[in-house]
Amino acid sequence: MAGLWLAGKRRTAAGLQWAGIILRWAVGGNKKAAKENFVMDATNPVVMLNAGVWHIVETGRAADVALCGRPLRDRRAHSRLKTVGREHVCPDCLRAFDRRSQP
């Protein structure tokens, strides 16, 4: 049913956001449960732009603190590490992430 509803609509950012909400509602999921079940991707974690510096975060957009321990007060965009590139990410976050990834 959700696919039929989307077929005739314009695909704008707001429309796609509403489509995601409707789809979550249709399958019984919600945003709070998705946050609680979030697990950091071991190969491509979420990064957040904070005051002009990309930081690795554990809980996606809901994060208040970066992996390096710095508080995120001026949050801007979020992305994935492979999209942004390791050379553009906070070196302290990369060191903390590399230590976590090792067994």
- Tens of pLDDT, residues 2-29: 444 444 445 555 555 555 554 454 445 5
The boundaries of the domain holding residue 60 are 46-101
57 and 97 assigned to the same domain: yes
Task: Answer yes or no: do 29 and 53 share one domain.
Answer: no
Q: Give dist(CA 38, CA 78) in Å, integer.
A: 15
Distances (CA, A) of 90 to 59, 60, 77: 17, 16, 15
CA angle 41, 42, 48 (to 5 degrees): 55
The yes-or-no verdict on residue 33 having pLDDT over 50 is: no
Does 41 reside within a domain? no
**73-101 mean pLDDT:** 93
Structure tokens at 93: 């976050």
pLDDT at 101: 76
Q: What is the rounded average pLDDT for all residues in the chain?
A: 75
Chain length of the chain: 103
Q: What is the model's pLDDT at position 41?
A: 78
Phi, psi values for residue 17, rounded to 5°: -65, -45
Q: Is the pLDDT of residue 55 over 70?
A: yes
